[in-house]
Structure formats: C-alpha cells, structure tokens
Structure 1
Amino acid sequence: MPATVYRFQTDSHRDTILDGIGAQLRGGRWNVRGRPLIYTATTPELCFLEYIVHLEGTPLSDLPPLILCEIEIPDDAITWLDAADLPSGWNNTQVSPAGLPQFMDAQFRQHGTLGIALPSVVVPLSPSRNVLIDPLHPTSVQCRVLRIEPYPIDPRLPTATLLA
C-alpha cells in the first residue's frame, strides 16, 4: 500500500516538486550542497512548521504564494529511524552538527531505500515524521504528486519575527 507525504513550497516552483533541486542548490540539515533530496513530512502540520522555521525573519504575510503538495510514495520503500538511531546532536536547533549529511548518505546506501523517515527537530515528541526522499533512487519514478492545493496562511498566526 502506498504512503502519503506532504511538502510545502512556493507555487513558482511547482514543476520541481519531485526533483530535490532546492536542497541540491542550497544543501540542508541532511544533505550537502550538490546532492538532491526531497524534504517531506507525514502530516501537513509538521510540514508547515518545518517550512516556517527556515524563514529567517520573513513575516508570514510577506511570503509568496505557497502550495501544499500531497505525494504518494511506495510504503515499502521507507526506512524508519528513531532518535536513538541518529548521531549525537542531530537535534541541535542552533546549528546543524557536522556530519549529518554524510550520515544520511550512508543510511541511504546501507538500506538501499527511497525514503528515510526520522523525528523532527521542530517537534521532537510528535509521532509525525519527516521523510527524506532520494530522487536519484530507481523507485523514485513510482512517486507521484496526487494533489496540489494553494495554502493560505491564517492571519492569526504570528509572524516569523515573533517566532524567533
């Protein structure tokens, strides 16, 4: 049975949902610059929180139009990791510990998997998980975007500057 994951991104990049190009260009907590990776989550709520923690002071009202992407992936192609499986300091909120991208590459190689599900740094006690998808894996062709919806920001939410 397929699994469903979610991704937030700007509408202007809707044609790259399954490419991992943003992570490839900028790098991230779990990937080095130059390595494509698709950052998703098992729930839209976690996906949204993961998105807004990276706004670096941009008020939510100043964001370009966002979309919520619902993505289907083969369920048997996901490896689930717990916090105990991750390197020390993986959840540091101030700085990404050195070696996390290399650790994640080793996990993808070791498990030969399309996706790796792991706890969130933003909400570590949540049962929701982040799911990193390798767009270079042979089974990535089985991933498909099920739905794309505009995602309005509730004006009652505080701006990113208040969250910092």
Structure 2
Amino acid sequence: MNPLPWDERWYAWRLDREMYSDTWDRGLGSNRRGGRWNTPGRRVVYASVDPSTAILEVAAHGGFDALDEEPHVLTCFEVIHEASVRIVQPEEVPNPHWLHPMKTSPNQRKFADALLAEHPFVLVSSVATRHSWNLLVSCDLAEGQFRMISQERFGLDTRLLKDLAAS
C-alpha cells in the first residue's frame, strides 16, 4: 500500500503548544524524553501526513480539553527531497503490537533509531488512527531537506470537548 497522499509536493503537519512554535523543527522534546519511535538523545520531529492526524495524535496524549485550554499552532512543512522518505509498511515492523496504543517497547525505539540513523525521513503507520501515517524527521540527517510552509493558530471545534455539566 502506498500511504503517500502527496502528488508533486510533499507536505507534513504538526501541532505544538504555541510557546514552542519557534522550535517546531528542532526535535527538542524527543531529544530530552524520547518518543514512541526514538530513544532519548536523538532529535526527531514527529509529524503527520494530514492535519487531522496531527490533531488526533496530540489529543491522544493530552485529550481534546488540553487543545482548548492552551493556545496551539498548526505547522505545515514541505519535504523538499521526496526520494529520501523511507516508508515502513506495517508488515515490516517486527512486533505488530508496536502499532497499537500500548506501552512503548525499548526494542521498538531501537528499531526506529536504526532507521532514523540511516534515513532523514521515516513514514510509519499512526497508532492514533490506523489508516493514517506519521512522518518522523531525523533532525541531523534532514537538515536543509524540509522547510516550513505555514503556521497558524489552531482553534479546536468545541463540540469535541467533554460536557462536564451533562455528566
């Protein structure tokens, strides 16, 4: 399956708290704490191939309420050298449970670290929504191969919030 929704231009999206809007491309959080697909010490930008998946990925960690309580910024960026994207098909992942929302395995991080040491961009299936894809950007290898297209303040549709008064 070709997960790429792109034609001639390759775009990716990420959602950050507004206070981090200037550092969206540095992978600082993943460097400090690691992530689902990297160990601490590796700078990785986590993005999605569409804005909806980027929003769902953030909501999966903090809930929709967090997106309504604090200002966020939606960033769109372009991958300039599309040939440098390594697509990881679900059947290539050693443990299929890595693609489900559960505790991250140290072996999962090692698997992705090896890919990110070799490829500037790695495309993996989203855990938050099975038929979408996330783009991992190895900051060290991808320097100069992606650029910001736009940033805009994000506004959550408040129908997605829990109605605490109704419960």
- TM-score, normalized by length of structure 2? 0.85
| Structure 2 residues without counterparts, runs of 5 or longer | 1-7
Q: How many residue pairs get matched?
A: 154
Secondary structure, aligned partner of 1:146:
strand
Aligned partners of 1:115, 1:153: CA distance in 2, in Å?
29
1:145 aligns with 2:148: yes
> Does 1:64 pair with 2:70?
yes
* CA–CA distance in structure 2, aligned partners of residues 65 and 100 of structure 1: 32
Find the aligned partners of 1:32 and 1:38 in 2 and give their Cα distance. 13
Match of 1:116 in 2: 122
Q: 1:53 aligns to what? A: 60
The alpha-carbon deviation at position 58 of structure 1 amounts to: 7.3
Of 65-74 and 84-93, more deviation after overlay is shown by 84-93
Structure with the largest fraction of helix = 2
Specify whether residues 53 and 61 from structure 1 end up closer, same or farther in structure 2 by C-alpha distance, changes over 3 A only. Answer: closer
Letter of the 2:137 counterpart: I
Separation in structure 2 between the aligned mates of residue 81 and residue 101 of structure 1, nearest angstrom:
14
Residues 139-161 of structure 1: CA deviation (Å, up to 9, x unaligned): 421311110011101110034x9
Question: 1:61-117 CA distances to partner (integer Å, 9 max, x unpaired)?
Answer: 6531111100111211111111101121212323112311110111234xx321000
Say if 1:61 and 1:155, in contact at 8 Å, map to a contact too: no
From 108, 112, 115, give the equivalent of 1:104.
112
Q: Extract structure 1 runs of 4+ deviating beyond 2 A.
A: 57-63
1:114 and 1:62 mapped to 2: Cα distance? 33
State the alpha-carbon separation in 2 of the partners of residues 143 and 92 from structure 1: 29
Distance 2:18 2:155 in 1: 12
Contact 1:9 1:68 in 2 (8 A): yes
Secondary structure of the residue aligned to 1:95 is: coil
Deviation (angstroms), 1:33: 1.6
Instruction: Tell me how large the CA RMSD over aligned residues is.
Output: 1.8
Unaligned runs of 5+ in 1: none
Alpha carbons of structure 1 residues 26 and 58: separation in structure 2 relative to 1, 3 Å: farther
